Structure 1
């Protein structure tokens, strides 16, 4: 149905680099066609991330004539600050598509779902299942009449619920990572992964260690190490090296992939000292602090590159590196880049990883293995002198591990399960109705959870605890000026509460002798400009008009601070007392310090904030009223705006 699929919008975003490759171990069934099916892929990465096995599975299924819905990562752990750029990209992709859908390649639709990023919260689980279930139902109506194949890389509770919601004809779990060992936050995934392994029709594993883990639940796990796009690399083998390497002398030893916390940066730094005449080239996004590598003239960080640009870069290397450090997580990792290196005929040197040693057993010791930097340097020196020795064996290993060999074997197993299933699949319309009938139950559960949340907010101090990180306060000290931020006087010129509280706090600081000037800043003009009303109030309280500066051209906190900063710097101020409401103070102080790191900014919030029903007594906030929904909205808005400021480097 080309017309229906084209309705999901134009393709956006290309993968930026490569990590994926590997060999086929278990006996394959006879080839069988898998075409004309609908396949839902639950991915652990986003489509625009580094090119990996997820992309190869999706593109090759689509090329075989299947329709693919690629659902981007919904998370195996709660997000942290480093994830905010990715969250921003998710929002951009959702808005750029059609309700999160976008067609990236023929037969491939990507869904960028908006979900609550709490993978192990029961409330978030219910809401996320409903949200993604609705999107699956929409795709169901557009893709065909047969129940889908659900192919998941994701073993979370949400993945289990989507297995039930999608009502698939076949469930495939491809275990490609030891998620439980990847971080403390993700350790809880072990229980849902075991349940998924038990419920799936087929379980594939990418390494011996992962196969053994899954085999503790069931005995029929099939080993399919990650493959390589052998066709692409073969076409480039023997060609010219990338022009960007021309300025880097030989020998060049290269690493392709994400520069993450599992890469042994300390050993790379040692190698650069042990081999000062060698050049080490790292190609891939920087995903961790690279402090040990900075300032080293023979270490070159090229950054991320499109997948199609990797072969010419590899053509300029003398050997490929796998410099992973040993850890429980890397003990189960099959370093897929082995086969990309080998597809270009390159010798490979690796740290002693279990899966590398297993690879050597299968392919005759084609990878040099080292235990430390000294051994690694010796192996690299030998590789640089080896010429074409061992090249044929390396190419044969890569040929065996081509995706054009592995994926047909995987698809044959899926086709075999389809053939054994009794009876025709139910129409997609029926699946969609099933999802719709589930929706009321989900809504009831969601309403109950919302009611419980409302009780928690209304009748406990939870909201105030959550808001406390937004508050920053310092006792008044002598300074050059007080900068008071306004809060809106209104079109009728009536004093707003925040306006009055801020103005009176600044007056108090002046009359107490802490400051000699006051700067009132606002971006809310009305019939009577807010700062004019603030100035009149201050004058009525005994502050000389000549000691007051007003700024009214700002719109929003940062713009107000920019204008206020212009005034205080023009006046030669070196220290200011910053006045605003308690839960606005952290953002305002951070933004002011970002504008001028030399200017000393002392946060002095208002003593009383009637909006929140709070007053300050000896540095402690005392709340005189219960939280309300408007308070929740204000606190959430403050946190979201703080994130927005961080993303724009304003704090």
Structure 2
């Protein structure tokens, strides 16, 4: 890891100018409009300074030829979705995405560029291109997720070799990867405290689909997939039939029919980022029933500080980064089975929240997505500055394969 503070880096204007105005080409396994989380927080801030092209994974439709579906998400940010015909071979899919990428980047002819990877799989159609700075923002251990492609680990190793700077989305992930790169930095989930602070407002109204649910309420929001402990939810709900359990978020990679069903379990579905504080503010306790398996070994849930900013105490299973960052200081209470969840939740509902909220606010005052972005931006600029005179070369000489 490089020496020197991020603040010092940010204040070095000569370093910061090394990436001024360069287009940011982001390759993501997550869709922009799916769940608003780390990529959206960081890339929307990049878009205030740089053109940003956010390239999603392909979709398949009855089209005659591959096309790139482009749409705007505010000033400076474009979302691109490769639309491919059905029936393409794997090599055909890679070739089509490569041609679509080349055509899109041709519009930036003469400019440098930053490649920002969330998924190493994008190397399959982008490795032939040079970038002035290559960033790998490793927010999750994708190889541990259900349905991970077998070539993912090898591609990640290749991306580690190509990257000029690497970020991880949590401490556990950093500890697992820190020996694989000499310029790697940990940036755990941050918080838009003002946004989620709306959940504390006295005049806040419950959304219509929550307003009629009995209290007390325990709530979860986020993606519901193989990381979610359905058995634990079922057991807690059975133990407390007079409590309401509000589950907000899309269901992916698991059969909705396998979700536990009970009169007091309410599957609300996906809701917008803008509406989340209104839901959370109507909960008595935040509930994070993560399964403890390979897919959760390295996660650092963004929702943890978001619950706290909304003024809602949290009970969670023993996810490593939650325990390390929030459990040891008592911001989040840890429980391992249904009985302990019930006991902890009951005590959280009975506690005096005044002193607890003061402690929460002191902790959250030290982090924000704005400050996290500023530090990350400084590291990207420093990585570019460390590359010497490469950025001053004519663009035509920088189109060689990046090896």
Partner of 2:123: 159
Contact kept in structure 2, 1:62 and 1:106, CA below 8 Å: yes
Q: Name which of structure 1's ranges 124-133 and 402-411 shifts more when overlaid on structure 2.
A: 124-133
Partner of 2:101: 132
Structure possessing the higher relative contact order (Cα contacts under 8 Å, 6 or more residues apart): 2
**Matched position secondary structure for 2:360:** helix
Change (3 A) 1:295 1:236: closer
1: distance between equivalents of 2:216 and 2:396? 61
Q: Deviations over 1:209-256 (max 9, x none)?
A: 321332232243211112222232235532413232221121111101
Partner of 2:223: 258
Alignment of 1:342-421 (within 5 A): 342-360=308-326, 364-388=329-353, 389-421=355-387
Q: Deviations over 1:233-285 (max 9, x none)?
A: 23553241323222112111110112222211111111111111211101111
2: distance between equivalents of 1:425 and 1:117? 43
Contact kept in structure 1, 2:171 and 2:186, CA below 8 Å: yes
1: distance between equivalents of 2:5 and 2:206? 39
2: distance between equivalents of 1:41 and 1:29? 25
Contact kept in structure 1, 2:198 and 2:278, CA below 8 Å: no
Q: Deviations over 1:268-325 (max 9, x none)?
A: 1111111112111011112233446554111111111111011111111111111111
Determine if the alignment matches structure 1 residue 277 to structure 2 residue 242.
yes
**Residue 87 of structure 1, CA deviation:** 4.2
Partner of 1:569: none
Alignment of 1:138-287 (within 5 A): 138=107, 140-141=108-109, 145-156=110-121, 158-159=122-123, 162-165=126-129, 167-183=130-146, 185-238=148-201, 239-244=203-208, 245-287=210-252
Change (3 A) 1:327 1:146: same
Partner of 1:639: none
Contact kept in structure 2, 1:266 and 1:292, CA below 8 Å: no
Contact kept in structure 1, 2:168 and 2:186, CA below 8 Å: yes
Partner of 1:571: none
Unpaired segments ≥5 residues, structure 1: 1-25, 75-85, 439-651
Count of residue correspondences: 385
Across the aligned residues of Structure 1 and Structure 2, the Cα RMSD in angstroms comes to 2.9
Q: Deviations over 1:325-355 (max 9, x none)?
A: 1111111111111011011121111111111
Q: Name which of structure 1's ranges 417-426 and 272-281 shifts more when overlaid on structure 2.
A: 417-426
1: distance between equivalents of 2:232 and 2:365? 31
Contact kept in structure 2, 1:194 and 1:214, CA below 8 Å: no
TM (norm. structure 2) is: 0.86
2: distance between equivalents of 1:215 and 1:118? 40
1: distance between equivalents of 2:119 and 2:87? 15
**Matched position secondary structure for 2:82:** coil
Alignment of 1:192-591 (within 5 A): 192-238=155-201, 239-244=203-208, 245-287=210-252, 288-291=254-257, 293=259, 295-360=261-326, 364-388=329-353, 389-423=355-389, 424-426=391-393, 434=399
TM (norm. structure 1) is: 0.55
Change (3 A) 1:415 1:87: same
Partner of 2:83: 114
Which is greater in Rg? Answer: 1
**Residue 124 of structure 1, CA deviation:** 4.2
